[in-house]
Structure 1
């Protein structure tokens, strides 16, 4: 049903309502024979979702891959179109997100006390044509535009997320299929000689494929974040002048600190998992050989070993909690610090020294938009680095 659904239905997942309603109905025995095999259905999967192995097997047997970037070429041929569609939808959604602050500024300016003037009612004779500027300055028109802009933004954003997630899942399945085909055709002597161990196979299937999948999940952010930051800074400069650049500088200066905290948080989480696995391994060995431990009176030795590992795990968990608290505090404090700095500088630098409500509300919305890509910057950079490492490892093991 998803394949034949329209763009709006696919973006808002309206097509899934028809699949949810029959879940409350009772399924009779004679209704179970109406299901058709997948090969007999009228609609099949599009050709753009072919397995990546078809692209990798297109080269002649016994020839070397065409350079170190051959895996990116295969991924581009197999999953390039849906990924480009996801990036375009994400860029459109981010651009529509800037309509909100502009509409809020116009609405507040329209209903503010400075814009209200008590005038005598005038009787207009003839036909009065309003200009486009007057039409767009009306608060009711801006409210309607704000509603449709938010509706389109959420639709494009949801469609972008869905396309990126679906492409990432298909990518992981395709690479896992390629790895399994390579392992099944591999000589057993390669594994016995240590060229490809069981642990390396598990890392390829479970970890490296997941890293590439998460890179495809976050790939639209890699292209949308620069556009979002540039447009946001331009609009802030249009509203506040030079003070907006100072506020953006505060966010840019604190962004490396946030990236450092996020890196430490990821490293601490990885260390915690390692200590937890080591503790479980020692506990399992202790329980399996409990008779031997009782025979040789080794209980205290193994207990001290387990308690030492548990102590390191607790220390790592304590550091993880501290870094998590710092990260949450910075995510909440950076926008406030940037807004306060911008408003204080604007009041002292501007000629009139006045900060209207329209400019204040619009600036708050724009700063809120700017903080989101900077918050995701650390995750996107870390996922990109991990994907590059996994790509190199997968390329070397797939040749």
Structure 2
């Protein structure tokens, strides 16, 4: 299980990069849609609908490609963690058989080990979702922090008119 942690860290870093890219494309698409909706009269007057439609579609296709990569990465991560308990059980029993003096696995040791692995199965199944949520929270906190630190945002404290 400990050997799977570095792989999980690599998957989380990749997921974070994809999440940042997805947010970048989403911001660009929303900004363009805002421009379209705010200037709909001018857009209709000069018949620029196809041009802006192509731009929105291009950004949306890039966003969909990133979403597809995120889905594949999540599927791979979930598959890996779903297989992990079985691989851990197999590796543990193989190591026990190889290192024991009798090279024999009796029922008592096997059932105790299997019950311990079944206890660990639920937390291991939750681990990929938790990592995914932590990555999303990290990206969101970074975006909120950049927004609040931006120089365009000027907060003034005026006395209340009470």
Q: Which residue pairs with 1:375 in the alignment?
A: 127
Retained in 2: the 8 A contact 1:258–1:330? no
Number of equivalent positions? 135
User: Gapped runs of 5+ residues in structure 1?
Assistant: 1-250
For 1:278 and 1:265, the matched residues in 2 are separated by: 20
Map 1:34-49; keep pairs closer than 5 Å.
Answer: none
Query: With structure 1 as the length reference, what TM-score do the two structures score?
Result: 0.30
Larger RCO, structures 1/2 (Cα 8 Å, 6+ apart): 2
Aligned in 2, Cα 1:257/1:324: closer, same or farther, shift over 3 Å?
Answer: same
Map 1:201-350; keep pairs closer than 5 Å.
Answer: 251-350=1-100
Q: CA RMSD in A?
A: 3.0
For 1:363 and 1:259, the matched residues in 2 are separated by: 27
Deviation by residue 1:43-63 (Cα, 9 ceiling, x = unmatched): xxxxxxxxxxxxxxxxxxxxx
The offset of 1:371, in angstroms, is 8.5
User: Secondary structure of the equivalent of 1:351?
Assistant: coil
User: Secondary structure of the equivalent of 1:252?
Assistant: coil
For 2:31 and 2:17, the matched residues in 1 are separated by: 21
- Larger radius of gyration between Structure 1 and Structure 2: 1
Deviation by residue 1:151-189 (Cα, 9 ceiling, x = unmatched): xxxxxxxxxxxxxxxxxxxxxxxxxxxxxxxxxxxxxxx
Map 1:48-197; keep pairs closer than 5 Å.
Answer: none
Query: With structure 2 as the length reference, what TM-score do the two structures score?
Result: 0.67
For 2:121 and 2:108, the matched residues in 1 are separated by: 18
Q: Which residue pairs with 2:154 in the alignment?
A: none
User: Secondary structure of the equivalent of 1:283?
Assistant: helix
The offset of 1:353, in angstroms, is 2.5
